[in-house]
């Protein structure tokens, strides 16, 4: 009898430990999800490429300054992502695409998300100031503030929020360039312009695919039904057309070679054609194809620019 009782106690303790372990795993996974790692991957690539392009002399940049620029930027962007989800947690529960976010399903509490987001954001700004330079720290800090204090609330007010959101959204190359040189050269502005324009077709594809979700949650990323097709079409086609001449600036300025020039033309034309197809059809399939093209375009154009720079 005593043996059975002891065995039962051991089994209960093991079950409790297993539950605690699963809860801890879900909590850590929730914190990771709060940082939006899929977006941070593109941010890290952009910072890396802009740093390497700005670095003078050898094609091989010092490892630690590059690491510091990427880490500091990722801390700030991760904190901003967590704070964004904290601010929008009530609305995320109304959208299918965000209904499984950690704050919605309870894996992370709002208080924890707030403290986590604020802590790593501040640490990122300080880290860049100490281990990169004040300019990169300033840009990162201002970017986070504009994203959270201006763009996030505007999503519930006006469809023009996409224009405002593209301003901080294109900041990563500025941070990388500033971390490498302490200044902002014309190369940084070219990268900024490319990323600024790229965001419009990218986000319009997402907005169209999940337009019912956004409407249900009260986000005005698209105008009323009557004008939304024209709005989405213009926001996708005009910027993607402007990317074509902007992407040629490095080759025209003799900062990149013929390989980059050929690839940039092909990529930009393909991106523009898919934007036009989306504008003509405005179907979920066309939006999905445009989204995939946008995800492929950015790392490919940056890789070409890095590999064929002069």
Tens digit of each residue's pLDDT, the chain (310 residues) = 556 666 565 554 444 555 556 778 899 999 999 999 999 999 999 999 999 999 864 455 688 999 999 999 999 999 999 999 999 999 999 998 899 999 999 999 999 999 999 999 999 999 999 999 999 999 999 999 999 999 999 999 999 999 999 999 999 999 999 999 999 989 999 999 999 999 999 999 999 999 999 999 999 999 977 789 999 999 999 999 999 999 999 999 999 999 999 999 999 999 999 999 999 999 999 999 999 999 999 999 999 999 998 7
What is the distance of C-alpha 131 from the center of its chain? Answer: 23
Q: Could you tell me the two tokens for 255?
A: 């900062």
16, 144 Cβ separation under 8 angstroms? no
256 pairs with which residues across the strands?
309
196, 271 Cβ separation under 8 angstroms? no
d(CA 194, CA 239) in angstroms, rounded, equals 9
Cβ neighbours for 87, distance < 8 A, ≥ 6 positions apart: 148, 152
228, 211 Cβ separation under 8 angstroms? yes
Q: CA of 175: how far to CAs of 30, 44, 200, in Å?
A: 27, 11, 21
User: Which residue in 168, 194, 146, 185 sits closest to 51, CA to CA?
Assistant: 185
d(CA 120, CA 182) in angstroms, rounded, equals 23
Q: Could you tell me the two tokens for 113?
A: 């998300």
128, 76 Cβ separation under 8 angstroms? yes
d(CA 225, CA 227) in angstroms, rounded, equals 6
Residue 200 host element (H or E)? helix 186-209
Q: Could you tell me the two tokens for 174?
A: 């500025």
The alpha carbon torsion through 22, 28, 29, 30 (nearest 10 deg) reads: 110
Q: Nearest-5° angle of CA 224, CA 225, CA 228?
A: 80
């Amino acid at each position: 009898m005593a043996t059975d009782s002891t065995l039962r106690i051991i089994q209960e303790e093991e079950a409790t430990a297993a539950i605690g372990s699963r809860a801890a795993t879900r909590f850590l996974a929730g914190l990771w999800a709060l940082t939006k790692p899929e977006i941070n991957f593109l941010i890290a690539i952009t910072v890396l490429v802009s740093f390497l392009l700005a670095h003078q002399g050898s094609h091989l940049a010092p490892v630690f300054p590059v690491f510091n620029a990427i880490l500091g930027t990722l801390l700030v962007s991760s904190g901003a992502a967590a704070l964004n989800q904290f601010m929008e947690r009530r609305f995320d529960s109304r959208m299918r695409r965000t209904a499984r976010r950690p704050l919605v399903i309870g894996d992370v509490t709002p208080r924890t998300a707030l403290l986590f987001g604020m802590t790593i954001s501040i640490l990122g700004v300080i880290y860049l100031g100490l281990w990169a330079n004040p300019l990169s720290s300033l840009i990162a800090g201002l970017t986070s503030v504009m994203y959270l204090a201006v763009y996030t609330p505007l999503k519930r007010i006006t469809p023009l929020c996409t224009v405002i959101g593209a301003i901080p959204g294109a900041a990563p190359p500025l941070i990388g360039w500033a971390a490498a040189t302490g200044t902002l050269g014309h190369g940084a502005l070219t990268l900024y312009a490319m990323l600024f324009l790229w965001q419009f077709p990218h986000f319009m594809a997402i907005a169209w695919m999940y337009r019912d979700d956004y409407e249900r949650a009260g986000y005005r990323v698209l105008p009323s039904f009557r004008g939304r097709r024209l709005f989405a079409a213009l926001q996708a086609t005009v910027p993607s057309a402007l990317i074509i001449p902007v992407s040629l600036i490095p080759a025209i300025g003799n900062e990149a070679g013929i390989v980059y020039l050929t690839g940039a033309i092909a990529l930009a034309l393909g991106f523009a054609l898919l934007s036009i197809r989306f504008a003509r059809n405005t179907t979920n399939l066309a939006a999905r194809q445009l989204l995939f093209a946008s995800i492929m375009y950015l790392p490919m154009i940056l890789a070409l620019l890095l590999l064929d720079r002069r």
